[in-house]
Amino acid sequence: MTSAVMTPTFVANSRCECQATLTAQLTEDRTVVAGSALLIGKREPAPAHSIHPEREVFDIGFLCPFCGRNVMRTFAASALTRTGRPAA
C-alpha cells in the first residue's frame, strides 16, 4: 500500500452510551486508520474498524476505552465529513 492510500480523508463521529465522543478517521475507501474517544476533556485511543466499507451504508465498530463497551454505529458514506483531498 502506498502512503496516499492510508491518508485519512473522512471522519465519522458518534456517541457512546457513556457519553464519550467516538471518532474514526477513514481513508477514501472507508478503511479506519485511527480511532479515538473524548470524555470530559480526556482523549484516549479507541480501537475501531469498518464493516462492509464498500457499501454506501456501512458500520464502524468501536471499543470505548472509558466504559469498555463494544459500540457499533451505522454511517452513510455520502454523509461523512471530508477532512482531506481525495487520493490522486
Tell me the per-residue pLDDT of 47-82, one tens digit each, with 9 for 90 and over: 999 999 999 999 999 999 999 999 999 999 999 999
Model confidence pLDDT, tens digit, residues 26-37: 999 999 999 999
How far apart (Å, rounded) are the C-alpha atoms in residues 25 and 33? 6
Give the per-residue pLDDT at 7.
77
Angstrom distance (rounded) from CA 79 to CA 31: 16
pLDDT of residue 85: 66
